[in-house]
Structure formats: structure tokens, C-alpha cells
Homo-oligomer: A and B are copies of this chain.
């Protein structure tokens, strides 16, 4: 990591990550990220019907998915899921303590927890952690913040984009954990993005939903869905004029999408047992929805992912996955490329140089292109290969 600052690079934010003993490993496990004042905020949470207490808390704080808050308190090592009323009280207590420490109201503080489920939070440790994090807010050690939200992640994940909006330099910074899911694996993805751009909550919400649709919501490691996925963006408004319709909005949307996209690719690359990132780009679909369904079918296919792992240019499995999807498919028009090399065209195998495709499949990033030749719908899904290590991680750990 080139700098120890990322999430606090945008003006108007402070953050800290500390160890409070939730993780048995003794690693950082509690983070606090706050604005100096109230900030515009937008939030997206898991669509799983079983959700953790922190997700319920956040939805209460921002029922419309956007509003003004001071920040977020995050712990790793315990997801506070399936913990009943007591868990809900604990989430509220975390918010209240973190808010009090920065002079805010409990309902101005979001909460996210990631880690083991079905266990009550060790609240004495959590309370000490929040106090320590609040005391360390000036320290500006953003790597400790990233580490404090990690679980089985093997790499720290952050992204920073700088742009100019209305004559002012604006920074969009993001950190994320996830896709290496931890035992028992239900609290997967957390992403926090900060910016000093001046964006009203409702606009921030709309732009964030759009950015997430093409990034976090285009990511699949194994088709399983966390009960705790939470992504939040905070805008302090310290840089430049208020963003409104026109070029400023488009540039800010692009910067936000770029940060979310970089974090998404970083999570896919660090998926459990992953050895490479796989991008599945579908074009020519009858609709955007069809493109999404087809891309996800390929990205979710264990057979495709095993083929990538084995560097096998197995177009048959890609065709199979597209065909099983609910997207409209005309087999006689279907085309597939792997690493830019045409392997299937107009519904028939195409002769190709297998060695070149195998080389591509052995690289860091594998690109699979599917053209349905039916319309203009396009979508790109992100995933990773499927390895024995995935099984080892998920079968050998005992709850």
C-alpha cells in the first residue's frame, strides 16, 4: 500500500482501527469512521431475508437509504446475526457509544458487524474498543482501519480516485472487506466510501445505487449471499460547490463507480481459494436484465469456474451456463470469446489456438465475452476461479 491514508484522504473525515479482543487472533477488530460534522450518507444492505441486528439498525437510521449521519462503527470477528432482541440492543448500544464519543446522537451512527454468527457480542470488549478508537481518531492510520474490518481476507482492499468538480479537487476513497467469508461465513462484504464532494443525500443515494448495481451487485464468489452485506458512502461536502445535474454529476458518478469497481475486482481476486479474477462480459442481450442474468449464470457456474482454475478453454460449459439462464438465447447466434479469442461463433465451435487461450486462462485476470446477438443489453459480472482451497476453507473449518 503506497500510503497509510486512504479513507481519510477526502477532507472532513477521521478514522481509527484498534484491537479490542473480539478476534482470537489478536488482530485489529474495531473501526470508527466519522465525519467532522454531519455528512451526506447513502446505504445499501443485503437482500437476504435473514439479516443481522446491525443491518436492522442501519435501516432504522436511514429508512430511505440516504440521509445525514456522522459515520459508522464496525467490528469484525462477530457478525451479531441470529442474536435476537439482545443482539439488537447491542447494535444500538454500539451506535450510542460511538455517537456519544464524537458528540452525536445514536440515530446518527451506522453499525456494521462481520464474523461468526449466532453468538452474542462480547460487549465489554466492544465498549473498550469503541473508546480506544474514539481516542485514536486523530492518528490517521488508515491501514489499521482496513485491517479492523477484515476477516479471512488475505489482502487489504482500498481505492482512491481524484477528480475535479466545479474547479475544486475532489477525492473519492473506499475500503472494503470480503468475499473471503469467515466461519460460519454469513457476514461477507463491507464497503465504506468517503468523499469530500458536496452531494445532497438523495442524489448520493441515487448515484450510489447505480454504482453498486454495476460493481458490488455484479460480484459473485459462490452464489451464496451474506446476511450482513453493507455498503455505505459518506460525503462531507468540504470540496467545491454542490453537485447538480450536468457534467459535475456525471464526473462524480464516474469517480464513485470507479472506486466501487476497483473494490469489487479486489474482492473477486481475493475470493476464497481464488487464484484469479474472472470478468464475464455479456453484450447483445435482448435487455439489460437479460444480460445481467446471463452474466451471473456464467459467473456462478461451478463448472465454468473449475474450468478456469484448470486453464481449460471449455467453451461448452460457458454455452451451457448461458443456456440454462432465464435470459433469451438464440443458440444459432451465440458467440463466445475467451481472452479475446473467438472459441464459439453462431452456435458452433470455432477453430482456435488452444495454447494462446490456455496462457490467458493462466493469467491474473480472465475475460470471458459472450455475445447473444439479440439486442443492446450489456452487463459485466465479476467472480473468481473455484479451487480445492475453497473446499478446504469451507469444509475443514468447524463451527
Contact = CB atoms under 8 A, between A and B. Distances in A.
B310 A395 contact: yes
Interface string A316-333: 110111111100010100
Contacts of A306: 390-391, 394-395
Interface residues of A, number: 61
B349 A394 contact: no
A223 B300 contact: yes
Interface stretch (A13-21, A178-186, A236-244, A259-267): A178-186
Nearest to A48: B323
A316 B224 contact: no
A50 B334 contact: yes
Contacts of A390: 302, 306, 391
23 contacts: A48-B324, A49-B329, A50-B323, A50-B334, A51-B331, A82-B347, A82-B348, A84-B348, A181-B303, A186-B316, A186-B320, A223-B301, A223-B302, A224-B301, A224-B320, A225-B320, A225-B323, A302-B302, A303-B394, A310-B394, A386-B395, A387-B395, A390-B391
A50 B331 CA distance: 6
Interface of A: 47-51, 81-82, 84, 117-118, 181, 184-186, 222-227, 300-303, 306-307, 309-317, 319-325, 329, 331, 334, 344, 347-349, 386-388, 390-392, 394-399
A46 to B, nearest CB: 8
A354 to B, nearest CB: 8
Contacts of A315: 118
Contacts of A314: 184-185, 399
Nearest to A302: B222
B186 A317 contact: yes
A388 B386 CA distance: 10
B49 A398 contact: no
A99 to B, nearest CB: 27
Given A50-B329, A117-B316, A387-B391, A82 B349 contact: yes
B224 A324 contact: yes
Contact of A316 (B184, B334, B391): B184
Q: Would you call the interface of chain A mostly helix, strand, loop, or mixed?
A: loop
* CB-based closest 8 A-B pairs: A50-B323, A310-B395, A306-B394, A225-B324, A184-B316, A388-B388, A306-B395, A49-B329
A94 B347 CA distance: 23
A390 B222 CA distance: 15
A271 to B, nearest CB: 12
Contacts of A387: 391, 395
Contacts of A349: 82, 118
A226 B310 CA distance: 20
Contacts of A320: 48, 50, 185-186, 224-227
Contact of A394 (B49, B185, B227, B302): B302
Given A223-B302, A316-B117, A319-B50, A309 B395 contact: yes
Nearest to A308: B395
A48 B324 CA distance: 4
B84 A118 contact: no
Given A184-B316, A185-B320, A301-B224, A331 B395 contact: no
A232 to B, nearest CB: 21
A189 to B, nearest CB: 13
Interface centre among A117, A310, A347, A394 (most CB of B within 10 A): A394
